[in-house]
Chain A
Amino acid sequence: MTIFKTLMGASAALALGAGAALADPGLIIDLGGKFDKSFNESAFNGAQRWVEETGGEYYETELANEAQREQTMRRMAERGANPVVVLGFANASTLDAVAPDYPDTDFVIVDSVVEQPNVKSIVFSEHEGSYLVGMMAAMASETGTVSFIGGMDVPLISKFACGYAQGAKAVSPDIDVIVNMTGTTPTAWNDPVKGAELTRSQISQGSDVVYAAAGGTGIGVLQAAADADILSIGVDSNQNYLHPGEVLTSMVKRVDNAVYDAFTAGEAGELETGVEVLGLENEGVGVAVDENNQELVTEEMTAAIDEAKAQIASGEVEVHDYLSDNNCPAY
């Protein structure tokens, strides 16, 4: 404890003398855990990439329960980590209370907005990325039915589902979109067996393209789709390589880039606070095309997607965000 306090004192003195740029960044991994095959893991990978490329060091900790949020944020800040990156909407109200106590520390929150002068909020336009893969799904479908499998039934996942349904209906208005959620507990993020079951059930209802936004559960969805020889769509990171030629595309959400950029900017002392929306135009979300799926993506699809991207950028097409009113016009 004494060494700890000396360090704290020293880093506080440094922060006062030379600005916050000399501190190591910190990352607080959320309750899902470091290896959730999804959101947290993506953030962790971003931090690892930063370590490999810069040789720098960072503080990292994993939350084990709700009550630790505030305590851990404060400990990170007191230990001199800067910027402190926290993941997930569940941190928003806590950060709102903690940030004013550490005006010399910058905080970054992913997936939510906190309005404090020393907080950078990063949100993703998942609905726009999902809209694009929904269009591709509708164009690839021969049966006129496509489907969606979400992880835990929370509004954020409905945002994915709603964007997907809108995209599919934009291509063919009378297409059927089946939406299923895996479960209501956090285990729904990591239940590949149930994911596969749901996939088979959707196939029996006629679906021939399935989009999984379900963390580790998605592995089972993609597997079941490949087994039944229908197309699937991955999420978060590029999952095309999992079943080459069977995965139509992946809706990538670059949480890793967000963390990497926050660390890099923090080290250079250039972190800009405020809200940053990572969407189609700055490649925060997007559609993955590589050698594993290029044969599946027709020229027609590419053209339609490029057009939709331009229309979304210009505001001509507005993809409804489920979170704005907890309602989806497309289903």
Chain B
Amino acid sequence: MNDALPKWADIALIPLLNLTLALIVSGLVVGFIGEDPFEVLSLLIEGAVGSADGWSYTLYYATNFIFTGLGVAVAFHARLFNIGGEGQAMLGGLGVALALLYVPWPHWSLALLAAMTGAALFGAAWAAIPAWLQARRGSHIVITTIMFNFIASALMVYLLSRVLLVPGAGGSPETARFAAATNLPAIGDLYALMGWGCVERPIASVCRAPLNIAFLLALLAGFAVWALLWRTRLGYEIRAFGHSEPAALYAGISPTKIIMVAMLISGGLCGLMAINAVMGEAERLVIDPVQGAGFVGIAVALMGRSHPIGICLAALLFGMLYQGGGYVEFDIPAISREMILVIQALVILFTGALDNMVRAPMEALFLNRRRPEPALPTSATRSDGDPKERKVEP
């Protein structure tokens, strides 16, 4: 990344400008169909963060996106474009289901450990084949990972409608529910524990919200990814390989090893998403537990500039769009499900694809401002950055 921008502008100002542009264009689109953009925006925000219920769902979606976003980001650092998060998360779901269906776990914490192992192993295994093909045979990872998404979905349909199906369940392609002992503590349990309600019926909506302990796991995973990439030798090798393969090779870093390791970690993180969606929310394996989170993870990683903090913030934003979007769709009949998709797509377009449109003028602006001290532009840039922040620079 170049040094034209101070760190704060790179990680905060540019995404905010991008987001504002996306919202303006979305507002125009909403205006075109005859609805009030401000009403839609305020409903969207109210739905996403206006109540405990809204927050719970927002953070639930964000949890999914943090996992897939981190997965995509780790691969990004090795300059690998993993668009197979969808399939890896599906297989992660299978790992969770297999770990939970056949063992009578006495307590959720043991079940969680087993499910995490299953999810990460299956997700990583699904990423391993494209990784090997890339490392050894040069098959492009973009092509192979997206093909593996389709294979994953075919495998899931086969398993759920032929093998793992509960007989006589009315034909719904899903497994039996996991045992109650394996259910993860959710936001409703916290409410009950703290005496905030959720004990007697009728219970508030928040008590049934799917936000669960996987959210904390996602934050931990974020920290672990940061520590891995910027505090370990392996992380350094991954980043060095991503910056320049010939240089990495010259430094004695094995490309095969880095491609394999980066993709295994990436697949494992995507697979862990299933802890939230399969073990935490559905409590059974349904035919498509991922629901596009693997692809949203790409946008989240792009927007978060492949840094765990950025990813958490971007995931929160997408969680808000998901939850608030559903709220808007419910309240304003003219705003359909597809319209919400358009707004989400605009955010992705502006933050991902059109990033340079904002970045180039901003860089020019910042360079202009520095002209008064022309002698050493690079050292001026350095003194701009907070030393704490500079440590995490990729």
A positions within 8 Å CB-CB of B: 1, 33-34, 60-68, 70-72, 74-75, 78, 89-90, 92-93, 97, 100-102, 111-113, 152-156, 158-159, 184-186, 322-326
Contact = CB atoms under 8 A, between A and B. Distances in A.
Given A60-B333, A64-B322, 17 more contacts: A1-B46, A33-B337, A63-B337, A67-B60, A68-B326, A71-B57, A75-B330, A90-B172, A90-B174, A92-B170, A101-B202, A101-B203, A155-B171, A158-B161, A184-B154, A184-B158, A185-B288
Given A1-B46, A101-B202, A152-B157, A66 B289 contact: yes
10 contacts: A1-B50, A67-B60, A67-B291, A71-B53, A101-B201, A153-B161, A155-B172, A184-B153, A185-B150, A326-B167
Nearest to A112: B170
B330 A61 contact: yes
A322 B341 CA distance: 37
Contacts of A324: 168
A84 to B, nearest CB: 13
Interface string B115-153: 000000000000000000000000000000000001001
B10 interface: no
A149 B171 CA distance: 18
B205 A74 contact: yes
A64 B329 contact: yes
Interface string B272-309: 00000100011010111101100000000000000000
Contacts of A326: 162, 165, 167
Given A64-B329, A67-B60, A70-B208, A154 B201 contact: no
B325 A64 contact: yes
Contacts of A75: 205, 330
Query: Nearest 6 pairs between A and B by C-beta?
Result: A155-B171, A184-B157, A89-B172, A323-B171, A184-B154, A65-B291
B57 A325 contact: no
Interface of B: 46, 50-51, 53, 57, 60-61, 150, 153-154, 156-158, 161-162, 165, 167-168, 170-174, 177, 201-203, 205, 208-210, 277, 281-282, 284, 286-289, 291-292, 322, 325-326, 329-330, 333, 336-337, 340-341
Contacts of B203: 101
Contacts of B322: 64-65
Instruction: Name, among A60, A156, A159, A185, the residue most crowded by chain B CB atoms within 10 Å (CB to CB).
Output: A185
A322 B340 CA distance: 38
Contact of B286 (A66, A74, A102): A66
A246 to B, nearest CB: 31
B202 A102 contact: yes
B154 A64 contact: no
Contacts of B282: 66
Nearest to B331: A4
Instruction: Name, among A34, A111, A326, the residue most crowded by chain B CB atoms within 10 Å (CB to CB).
Output: A326
A72 B157 contact: no
A102 B174 CA distance: 26
A73 to B, nearest CB: 10
A64 B150 contact: no
Nearest to A103: B202
Nearest to B276: A67
B157 A100 contact: no
Given A93-B177, A155-B161, A325-B167, A112 B153 contact: no
Nearest to B289: A66
Given A62-B337, A66-B291, A71-B57, A325 B168 contact: yes
A155 B169 CA distance: 10
Contacts of A93: 177, 284
A66 B288 contact: yes
Contacts of A65: 291-292, 322
A64 B203 CA distance: 24
B287 to A, nearest CB: 7
B286 A67 contact: no
Given A1-B50, A67-B57, A72-B326, A62 B167 contact: no
B210 A67 contact: yes
Nearest to A121: B170
Contacts of A60: 333
B157 A71 contact: no
A62 B171 contact: no
B173 to A, nearest CB: 5
Nearest to A152: B157
